[in-house]
A and B are shown apart, each in its own frame.
Chain A
Amino acid sequence: SQQGEEDPQALSIQEGENATMNCSYKTSINNLQWYRQNSGRGLVQLILIRSNEREKHSGRLRVTLDTSKKSSSLLITASRAADTASYFCAPHSSYKLIFGSGTRLLVRP
């Protein structure tokens, strides 16, 4: 399965700290996507990194991809209370995306 597995399952940090979430997967991919889900809402894509990229930045987000280890990480710098949400990685190699259980991030004010 190309399902991404996120780690840790839950993360609680203080506002202003950095949050790092990891993702591992099993098959070759075209790209890997990270999504965010606010409580009770749909998912929204945060960032997409292609298989030939090693690092990508978007605002306070930094994503790395190591295809040799089949792993990715999402770093949120200078976290804010509004970053509280669940975060999912989605490895993409065909016409469907399979999501894992996600990382629940709580940013305490």
Chain B
Amino acid sequence: DVKVTQSSRYLVKRTGEKVFLECVQDMDHENMFWYRQDPGLGLRLIYFSYDVKMKEKGDIPEGYSVSREKKERFSLILESASTNQTSMYLCASAYFGGTRNTGELFFGEGSRLTVL
């Protein structure tokens, strides 16, 4: 079974702190994604990566950066956390090419971040 693991289920940080959210997948997927989920707004794409060291902005990249140094790991970084970044963060991975392509995203369990 595909497994996507997010390092922390719950985090509490203070305004201005630097926050790292880590995500690891074990299925050799090229594509990895970070979404945030807020009530009434659904899932919004922050960043995605289609290969090591490659990244593309999603719909709401402001205030975030990402790092993909290894294929299995995709990190979301909040350089200076703010209260409006309090949210549920969901990581996902997928394989979109060749015979294995189903287009399915595999999600982690989520990281609920509270910024005070």
Contact = CB atoms under 8 A, between A and B. Distances in A.
Real complex partners, A and B?
Answer: yes
Interface of A: 30-31, 33, 35, 40-45, 48, 88, 90, 92, 95-102
Nearest to B30: A95
Interface in B3-55: 4, 31, 33, 35, 40-43, 45, 48, 50
B40 A101 contact: yes
Interface residues of B, number: 27
Contacts of A31: 103
Given A41-B110, A99-B42, 8 more contacts: A33-B104, A41-B109, A43-B107, A45-B104, A96-B58, A101-B40, A101-B41, A102-B42
B110 A101 contact: no
Q: Interface on chain B toward A: helix, strand, loop, or mixed SS?
A: strand
The 7 closest A-B pairs by CB, nearest first: A42-B107, A101-B42, A99-B43, A43-B107, A45-B104, A92-B103, A42-B109
Contact of B107 (A44, A95, A101): A44
A92 B105 CA distance: 11
27 contacts: A30-B103, A33-B103, A33-B104, A33-B105, A40-B88, A40-B112, A41-B109, A42-B4, A42-B90, A42-B92, A42-B110, A43-B43, A43-B105, A43-B107, A44-B107, A45-B104, A48-B102, A48-B103, A48-B104, A88-B42, A92-B103, A95-B48, A95-B96, A96-B48, A97-B105, A99-B43, A100-B42
Contacts of B103: 30-31, 33, 48, 92, 97
A45 B105 contact: yes
